[in-house]
Amino acid sequence: MMKSHLATDKIYNMKKLFFIGLCALGFFTACEKAEEITYNSNNDIYFDFEDEESGDRVDSFRYSFALYPDKSSDTIFLKVRISGERTSYDRKFKIATMGQFTTATVDLHYEPLLAEYTIPADSGSIMVPIVLLNQDPMLMDTTVRLTLQLQETSDFATSFTQLDSAKIIWSNRLEKPTWWDVWRGELGDYSRVKHELFIRTTGTTALPNDQSDYQQTPMVLYYTRRFRAFISDPFAWVAQYPDEGYVITKEDDGQYYFYNKNNPEKKYLLEYSSSDGKYFIRDENGSRIN
């Protein structure tokens, strides 16, 4: 019985070693295949960006200059990523405008694209700057779109056809937000120009969408009263907040205009009311903002 038991153990150990050997062989074979896939993968390039809130992959960006009134231009950064291995040398890729899907005009709505862009050595991605311009008055009423597409080069293919294009959509207009009616008692009637002035004079782009959190009320009152102070006396407001970059100047036509020094193309005419001795601004409907 003892010899039989020892023989059984010996056979078992041999089988165990054989099984381990097979596993090891399979492991190294799998590694070799994985390595082969990695090194033989195509040198492709694609857009890689996602929604900041949801984390979902997206192919478009929306922007409004109305939220940033001191800017005459701004830059959107599009992330471009490679597949395949990184290299020890720079590589080039190109981006072209898809004319049939683009309504924006170069030099009027955006700066020209570069002839080519560079993926630096030992890098797997790059942020491509697209400069948007805020110099067309039509952006107050019109939304424009720039559609871009990656182009094949000797360094990169564009096999990921669902990830080779990107859209940027922008304007300089505002829409009535939900929170305006929530705080209508402080803000008064809505107009687009009034909304613009609220953003310019308060330093915020939004208020809470409800009044459920009483702890936010002091903050809201700070913003709305700062705005009301401007409406009541623009000259006093400019003097009180000199670091905000806003000025009131008398132009050649003898009229006063309110604007930001960083964006002098966007000016608001100040009219004088003899009935109450105050200066005011009219909205897009010609009504006095109060």
Query: pLDDT tens, 118-157?
Result: 999 999 999 999 999 999 999 988 999 999 999 999 999 9
Q: State residue 84's pLDDT score.
A: 86
Q: 45-171 domain in CATH 2.60.40.1740?
A: yes
Residue 147: CB atoms within 10 Å:
20
Please give, one letter per residue, the 3-state secondary structure of the chain: CHHHHHHHHHHHHHHHHHHHHHHHHHHHHHHHHHHHHHHHCCCEEEECCECCCCCCECCEEEEEHHHCCCCCEEEEEEEEEECCCCCCCCEEEEEEECHHHCCCCECCCECCCCCCEEECCCCCEEEEEEEEECCCHHHHCCCEEEEEEEECCCCCECCCHHHCEEEEEEECCCCCCHHHHHCHHHHCCCCHHHHHHHHHHHCCCCCCCCCCCHHHHHHHHHHHHHHHHHHHCHHHHHHHCHHHCEEEEECCCCCEEEEECCEEEEEEEEEEECCCCEEECECCCCCECC
Q: Which of 241, 259, 236, 239 is nearest to 249 (CA)?
A: 259
The model carries a pTM of 0.65
| Residue 15 confidence (pLDDT) above 60 | no
- Over range 243-267, report the average pLDDT: 93
CA distance 169 to 38: 37
DSSP strand pairing (278-280 vs 256-260)? unpaired
| Residue 24 confidence (pLDDT) above 90 | no
Confirm if 284 and 173 have CB atoms less than 8 A apart: no
Report, in angstroms and rounded to the nearest whole number, the Rg of the chain calculated over CA atoms. Answer: 31
Q: What are phi and psi of 268, to 5 degrees?
A: -115, 125
Domain boundaries, the chain: 45-171, 178-280
Q: Which of 126, 146, 125, 136 is nearest to 63 (CA)?
A: 146
Amino acid at 163: L
Amino acid at 33: K
Residues 6+ apart with CB under 8 A from 174: 64, 66, 67, 192, 195, 196, 199
For residue 254, give both structure tokens. 């003898």
Q: State residue 92's pLDDT score.
A: 96
Residue 68's pLDDT band, with cuts at 50, 70 and 90, is confident
Alpha carbon separation from 267 to 62, 110, 250 (Å, rounded): 25, 22, 12
Query: pLDDT tens, 179-220?
Result: 999 999 999 999 999 999 999 999 999 999 999 999 999 999
Q: What are phi and psi of 206, to 5 degrees?
A: -160, 155
Residue 16's pLDDT band, with cuts at 50, 70 and 90, is very low
Q: State residue 49's pLDDT score.
A: 80
